[in-house]
Structure 1
Amino acid sequence: MIASLVKKQKDFFGSGATRNVRLRKSYLKKLKKAVLEYEDQICDALYADFKKPKFESLATETQFILYELDEALKNIDIRSKPKRMSSIWANFPSSDWLYPQPYGNTLIIAPWNYPFLLTISPLIGALAAGNTAILKPSEFTSNTSKIIYEIISEVFPEEYVAVIEGGKETSQELLSLKWDYIFFTGSTKVGKIIYQKAAEHLTPVTLELGGKNPCIVDNTASLKVTAKRIAWGKFLNCGQTCIAPDYILAHKEIKDKLVQEIINGIGELYGKSMEDSPDLARIATESHYKDLKQMLLGEQLLFGGDFNDQTRYLSPTLVNEPDLNSKIMEGEIFGPLLPIISYDSIEDIERHLSNYERPLALYVFSKDKKFRELIIKEYSFGGGVINDTLLHITNSKLPFGGIGASGIGRYHGKYSFDTFSHQKGIIKKSFWPEIPLRYAPYRLPIRLAKKLKYLFQ
């Protein structure tokens, strides 16, 4: 069944139908209309999956997608046209161009933490660039997966875009086939498997992974504002955000005060009875809920640590000075647990950051411009924010993606279109004039041949 569907999409792409920019725009408009019509149902599905607050569902899923659709529709015409590039003297006279060409048949595998956003967002780039797509939403958020299936089935013929639901076996079957492009969002562990399977066919990939994102707070930061912004960025979506602060490195002079301000900030966000707050989501999967509870064993808690096995509730929790070899510091936490570690010097920061692979995000809170610039320039990471958290993902003019273990490739806005396009370089020449110097037998003196580099300017 899957193989026959993929063949249908290959035939449809081969027909040239998706090269038509008007067709792309018409379907993007249909998708926008469907998202608007289904918006409340999407929010209901997200709540059913892990009690995601409706405001968060709107702000971080549906409204984000509607913005990305508007952005793609606004710019698709200019992005789809060949772009004139400057020529060089060696090719005179010529005109030089970049032609964007869709890859063809794309596979998009999405995670469970932002199940609607991270399924539809890459799809927008794939469609704008002129590809077909098969979507594999996460089986762990089944209600959202069903809504995605309904929307896509209503908007698109299956030879253009289709949704395939299922678990690990379905993903394995999909990855056994040949694709023109694979876009995956998820863990580094699974990303390596995707990369290996793609390599069998030399299929290009985008891997949006994760990492242990540091949040550095020095002794010049405005602590009350810092604390609330960290608490918001960490506990949004109950910490299940790939760019959430994973741990804090706080200067020893302000650590205790920062802890108290974060506790105050959590109280302002979720009230005294956090379990009853309508604004705090739950852990999306049972297996991850159990993993998070295991991370707390033997740790010194500064705040929180409450849980409810029946509802997968885990409270915002602050962990004091965990050992670098502890379970909570092994890899990405991906939940509402926030280790806080003190530092005394740049060397301390270096020791902690060098203990991990390059992260997807980094945050630094400071009024000291030299310190901020040192951190931003010295360390390698996907992207970040100074004096706030998460916000770099909201600007479509900025590329979003990781580096090394935190990912390969980038997307959002123009970068999504570019990701799903092969940029073909073309030089156009006429039959006249004909310059004989490049042909054998070579008559140009060697002393002049040694100056040929100037013709490539």
Structure 2
Amino acid sequence: MEYRRTQLEALSRFMEEKKCEILQALNADLRRPAFEGELDEIGLVMNEVNTALNNLEYWMADEHVNKNLAMTFDSAFIRKDPYGVVLIISPFNYPFYLTLVPLVGAIAAGNCVIVKPSELSRCSEKLMAEVLPKYFDPDTFAVVTGGHETTTKLLENKFDYIEYAGSNTVGKMVMTAAAKHLTPLTLELGGKNPCYVDSCCDFQNAANRIVWGKSYNAGQACTAPDYVICTADTQDRLIPCLRQAIRCFYGCNPQESPDFGRMINDEHFRRVRALLDCGQVAIGGETDESDRYIAPTVLVNVKEWEPIMQQEVFGPVLPIFTVAGLDEAIQYINSKDRPLAAYAFSCDHQVVNRVLACTSSGGFCGNDCLMQAFLVSLPHGGIGCSGFGKINGRFSFDTFTHQRGCLTRCMGLEALNSVRYPPYTERKLQMLKFGTDVRRWNPCTLL
């Protein structure tokens, strides 16, 4: 326990002492404003570290479980063992958060860890590679840098656990490599997160929260609202409010705002810019390739078969897909792969609860966007094509922990054990069943 605490405290010192360098790296890579970087890349990681340090003794303790009559005098418990050597492969969009949050869980659980940051966020990768190892025991922690070939070679090794966050395509490659060694893994893959807006709604409040969620980190967030789904009448009432929110947040020319980020590289810029050919631009649409700038944009009249409704946007472009009503919206959401997050806005709690009850997603937030990821007590992870496994707080510790079922018995009392030894008899069977059967607490009879 003390060794794990030492390593976690070292990570805390890194976050505190290198705060300025972290914010500078994020700005150089993604033009991220310091406000956003300090809120999530630093603040959320520190929350994870502090939560782990506050609860480590409780998390690590053996968990004693209920016993049956036959094992009354025995000790039955779950031992929290580390898996061994963990590989963490993180993406470019939140280079510190998506590297260090799972790292906290892996270290708290007692594992050795190799991290592979994304080569696309070059300044953040360099900082982690050159500085972070100075804070950790080199026998416990290492950073590997490089591109696709490096990751491929890395995955040829046998790890005890792998955690990957990123695209669905690369996630399949990671899972294929893990399967060769039967290595368990966690995948966080994103997806097309729906955002239902009801006709009974405070439209300006909803617009403010949707624009913030879609423009945060220039839309390069796996939990960002990917598209709005609503009726045509709701769309007409929502668009002026979205325009007002964009103007209020970023001014008449968002390119000049210090609070609006940029696409990570030219390839991602061109991919998102191509999506502007879908539907019709209602707000924004301006681009500048030399600056990797794409304005906060709203598209209307998009069709289901168009590229923007077939792939994760991962940029500041928000399509609005119209349906006849709530039933059709739920039907459409359920016809697609299950997303990492789902959102619903309504002044009627029954509408929000119906979207929650009738859809499936990794996480859910009613009447806001992204905020579920800021709560360390909630699990973060996908379902189906958006991934599997959970991180955040206790869930990170459990992810990187092998829960080892243990039973210790005394060497005496052999007479009690004799009922399970041959020669078998009906009397022995009934006695053994009496001592081991689980009985229902409240049996009921259907009439």
Q: Provide the residue aligned with 1:439 in structure 2.
A: 421
1:177 aligns with 2:168: no
Quick one: which amino acid aligns to residue 440 of structure 1?
P
2:86 to 106, 109, 134: 106
State the match for 2:117 in structure 1: 137
In structure 2, relative to structure 1, the CA distance for the partners of 1:416 and 1:344 (3 Å cut) is same
Deviation at 1:446? 8.8
* Separation in 1, partners of 2:79, 2:262: 46
- The answer to whether 1:280 aligns with 2:255 is no
Deviations 1:196-237 (A, max 9, x none): 100000000000111100000111111111110111111100
- Aligned runs of 1:190-269 on 2, under 5 Å? 190-269=170-249
Structure 2 residue 86 is the aligned partner of structure 1 residue 86? no
User: Match of 2:57?
Assistant: 77
Q: Please, which moves more after superposition, 445-454 or 359-368?
A: 445-454
- Partner of 2:388 in structure 1? 408
- The gaps in structure 2 that reach 5 residues or longer are 440-447
Q: Give the conservation status (yes or no) of the 8 Å contact 1:35–1:151.
A: no
Within 5 A, what are the aligned runs for 1:345-356?
Answer: 345-356=325-336
Q: Distance in 1 between matches of 2:420 and 2:350?
A: 53
Q: Aligned ranges for residues 357-376 of structure 1 at < 5 Å?
A: 357-376=337-356
Instruction: Tell me how far 1:423 sits from its aligned partner.
Output: 0.3
Cα root mean square deviation, aligned:
1.6
Q: CA deviation at 1:447?
A: 8.8
Shift in alpha-carbon separation, 1:415–1:286, aligned structure 2, 3 A = same
State the partner residue of 1:422.
402
The residue type paired with residue 292 of structure 2 is R
**Amino acid aligned to 2:284:** G
In the aligned structure 1, how far is the partner of 2:309 from the partner of 2:26? 29
Cα shift at 1:251: 2.8
Q: Which aligned pairs between 1:317-336 and structure 2 lie closer than 5 A?
A: 317-336=297-316
Deviation at 1:450, TM superposition (A): 10
Instruction: Indicate if the aligned counterparts of 2:87 and 2:115 stay in contact, CA closer than 8 A.
Output: yes
Q: Secondary structure at the match of 2:26?
A: helix
For residues 60 and 204 of structure 2, what CA distance do their matches in structure 1 show?
Answer: 47
Q: 1:298, CA displacement in angstroms? A: 4.6
Q: What is residue 11 of structure 2 aligned with on the other side? A: 31
CA deviation map 1:377-419 (0-9, x unaligned): 1111100111111111111111110001001100110010000
1: distance between equivalents of 2:218 and 2:350? 33
8 Å Cα contact 2:70/2:435 also seen in 1: no
Q: Distance in 1 between the 2:334 and 2:270 partners?
A: 28
User: What's the counterpart of residue 11 of structure 1?
Assistant: none
Q: Distance in 2 between matches of 1:80 and 1:65?
A: 21
1:455 aligns with 2:430: no
Query: Contact conserved, 1:90 with 1:456, CA < 8 A, in 2?
Result: no
Distance 1:392 1:428 in 2: 41
Contact 2:230–2:329 (CA under 8 A) maintained in structure 1: no
2:364 aligned residue (384, 394, 415): 384
Which stretch of structure 1 is more off in the superposition, 345-354 or 356-365?
345-354
Match of 2:444 in 1: none
Matching residue's letter, 1:407? G
Taking structure 1 as reference, are residues 87 and 226 closer, same or farther at Cα in structure 2, changes over 3 Å only? same
SS of alignment partner, residue 77 of structure 1: helix
1:148 aligned residue: 128
Contact kept? 1:108, 1:122, Cα under 8 Å: yes
2:43 aligned partner: 63
Once the two structures are superposed, residues 266-307 of structure 1 have per-residue CA deviations (whole angstroms, 9 ceiling, x without a partner) of 111111111000000000121111100111125301000001
Q: 1:295 aligns with which of 262, 269, 275?
A: 275
Quote the offset at 1:449 in angstroms: 7.1
* Aligned-residue offset at 1:324: 0.8
Query: 1:331 deviation in Å?
Result: 1.3
Moved over 6 A (4+): none
Count of paired positions:
437
Is the partner of 2:318 in helix, strand or coil?
strand
Output the TM-score relative to the length of structure 2: 0.95
Q: CA deviation at 1:95?
A: 2.0
Q: Give the whole-Å Cα distance in 2 for the aligned partners of 1:132 and 1:447.
A: 47
Residue 115 (structure 1) shift: 0.7
Specify the alignment match of 1:22 in structure 2. Answer: 2
Please give the alpha-carbon distance, in whole angstroms, between the structure 1 residues aligned to 2:435 and 2:294: 64
1:159-193 superposed Cα distances (whole Å, 9 cap, x missing partner) = 21111110000000001111001000001111011
Q: Name the residue aligned to 1:396.
A: 376
TM-score, with structure 1 as normaliser: 0.93
